[in-house]
Amino acid sequence: MKRNDLLAMFAAAFFLLSASAWADGDPAHGRARAQMCAGCHGIADYRTAYPEVYPVPKIGGQQASYIVKTLQDYRSGARKHPTMRGIAATLSDQDMADLAAYYAGETRK
Ligand code: HEC
């Protein structure tokens, strides 16, 4: 077997594994990841002070698919808030699924 064939097999196996892992977010991973969100989301009536004074929406209890979609939109630039764009840029698809699974299972806050 040629070296490239082997590489392709590894790539395919990796893709299959990661694709199946994306199907469902893992709330436990999401919870660990959510530490970097908790500084803004989940504080009653919290407002950011940068880049302007801005109310922070409640994300706990929202639909997982909605949370994933908004995070992808921040990453792609379809949604423009600068802080969330910066944060979403650091998240993988798996992170987004995990975070969505965690927040969707939370009560609204
Ligand atoms: C520095 C403060 C800050 C941090 C940290 C932060 N966010 Fe946000 N987030 C905001 C603000 C402000 C908005 C509203 C932006 C807008 O109007 O588009 C927002 C919007 C959102 C939305 C869209 C909510 C809706 O109802 O449309 C989601 C989902 C979200 N954030 C998830 C996260 C996740 C997940 C993390 C952690 C990985 C995170 N945020 C970290 C400030 C923050």
From 29, 33, 40, the mutation candidate for ligand 1 (largest count of ligand atoms within 8 A of CB) is: 40
Chain segment 89-100, per-residue pLDDT in tens: 999 999 999 999
47 Cβ contact list (under 8 Å, min separation 6): 53, 54, 55, 56
Is the pTM above the cut of 0.85? no
**Which residues are 48's β-sheet partners?**
54
* Ligand 1 center from residue 17 Cα (angstroms): 29
Among 22-36, 39-53, 57-71, 83-97, the least confident range: 39-53
Q: Please report the pLDDT score of residue 9 as a whole number.
A: 59
Q: Rounded mean pLDDT of the chain?
A: 83
Q: What is the mean pLDDT of residues 69-77?
A: 97
Instruction: List the chain domain ranges.
Output: 3-104
When pLDDT is cut at 50, 70 and 90, the band that residue 22 belongs to is very low
Ligand 1: centre distance to CA 84 (Å) = 5
Atom of ligand 1 minimally distant from the CA of 39: 5
Both structure tokens of 40? 């803004």
CATH topology of domain 3-104: Cytochrome Bc1 Complex; Chain D, domain 2 (1.10.760)
Q: Positive or negative CA dihedral for 58, 63, 67, 72? A: negative
